[in-house]
Chains A and B, each alone.
Chain A
């Protein structure tokens, strides 16, 4: 209960201070608008904001789902077939050392300026975050517990389903949590590079048109959406991975 109070009071305090500073010193809008002004702008431009949000969320969630699914499948395959791991793991580690944004030009070239390129980039970003955590979790299962299942006659598949995957859930959930913020960031940054629609595109166009308030409004909507989504993943984690 106390934790909840702090997690609400903290941001409220920051907003209040922000508002106060902007008003007291008469900070111009192009430097930093007041939170109240941003909020009003969100409401005023709500149709545009919702439109952008819908596109960005679609890209982020589709990329998230594809990336997370692929990552889990690859991590499980690596544990089941160590030979595959010996070949595949170094390649993945090498790829992971390249920042995702570096793939952006290629993604735009291959998938165009529409949502396809954003989904591809989010898939990569989410995929690595989930893979690293899932792989670690599946690997570090208690050897004696695996032996107990073997003594009951469990083969690799049964050990995977009954022991390794559940035991790795806390680690997998960590990956899924980190991936939420990553997927929103990557979708928005990619939209800023080239896009027809989306919060990133709105931010980019607004700054071009010197409408900084609108850019801030889009940023506010993006972070609110990010936080809400993060909250959902967190709730699922608490509810279903209760034993950690």
Chain B
């Protein structure tokens, strides 16, 4: 049994809130640089240049890359040998969000009642927390600030086995096509297939955490990803939707087994500010 004080989780979440909102992963930056080289639209190139310059400004000035510093998504993996002390783990995570969003001067974008009152909670809590118990004595915290613009373009569809992989592909391309310039392209497309109604949506989100450029471990789905990326970029949506050859930087697919009667598919759209980070305690 390993004892971990939840204060260390608070600290980790606080630091991740601030760092993920200021520093983007090298994989995203490199993908954007490559896109700039390939982009045929002059306006598209200008936009990509503005996006790349913005990274430099945010790092230099320690300002958030985007003003929408998102809802705090936390994937928590807890080793089953771990015993948390010092308080409730979910409270500790929310405290980390509270501190990080205050000290980092990040935008508080959460309303308490989603429909009727829509009153801001003023500290960006609650975070959305997914917990898994895994073997071992470590705790892993994956953190992603998720902006509203791209999240709003996401969708779950309960498809049938008869629709097959061609149906899945058409759904993904159609979802991106209907999103147009709204989710701040160039985007990253997370696709979850299998599981159940809610599981495929989580899978699609998990898929966004994969490093851009890393191939899908399944060679067949790797080919599907390449085909989807080509088809999506042939839509012509381009940077910010104003036309161009770069609509998506990557398509990431994740699959799990599912019921014989079902084929749930989720598409989670991520904007070019593809922020995520991980801390292991």
- A and B: partners? no
Query: Which A residues are closer than 8 A to B by beta carbons?
Result: none
